[in-house]
Amino acid sequence: MGTEVFVLSFVGITFFVLVILFAGIALLSTLFARAGGWAKLAEKYGVDQEPEGQKLSWQTLEVGGLVRYRWSVAVIIAAQGLYLALSSPFISKHPPMLIPWTEIKQARRTILFWRRAARLTIGDPPVSTIAMWMSLFEKVRPHLGRGVVIDA
């Protein structure tokens, strides 16, 4: 009888810990989406369908100068714009978005995880910023308007 009570207690505690863990992850994900600007971007540019285009998986981005998504963003360079979606099943509250090329207003040099990067200003007035490594920016650059040049 003592062993049965122990096993039931262990299962109950394990279940409780898992529920708390997943609730904590969901809460942090929501806070990161709001703090970094993903939520604002998705509110304005959110989409339900993935567009056709060049798909680049497992990209690293920084949104809003605050929240970094390392190796966890799917990017599609489409005719309509820049599509972003999180690849991680553990991160919620980050709906996919398609930012029209005309909404990318400025590009500035920056550093992201100790590598050269470009920080794009999205919207006018600005909704948020997105920083990406130069290797990704070079693929995005041909789609940007003539007025969007990377400054020093």
Domains of the chain are 38-151 (2.30.29.30)
Residue 31 has pLDDT above 50, yes or no: no
Q: What is the model's pLDDT at position 25?
A: 43
Taking the C-alpha atoms of 76, 82, 83 and 84 in order, what is their torsion angle to the nearest 10 degrees? 100
> E strands, the chain, where?
53-63, 67-78, 81-86, 97-100, 104-112, 115-122, 128-133, 150-151
pLDDT given for residue 88 in this prediction: 63
10 sits in which H/E element? helix 2-36
Q: Which amino acid is at 20?
A: I
Check whether 57 has a pLDDT greater than 90.
yes
The CA–CA distances, whole Å, from 129 to 50, 90, 100, 118, 122 equal 21, 23, 14, 10, 6
On whether the pTM is more than 0.75, the answer is: yes
Report which of residues 29 and 65 the model is more confident about.
65
Assign 100 a pLDDT band (cuts: 50, 70, 90).
very high
Nearest C-alpha neighbor of 138 from the set 121, 123, 105, 116 = 116
Distance CA 17, CA 13 (A): 6
Q: Is the pLDDT at 70 greater than 60, yes or no? A: yes
Residue 13: pLDDT band with limits 50, 70, 90: low
Q: What are the pLDDT digits (tens) for 109-142? A: 999 999 999 999 999 999 999 999 999 999 999 9
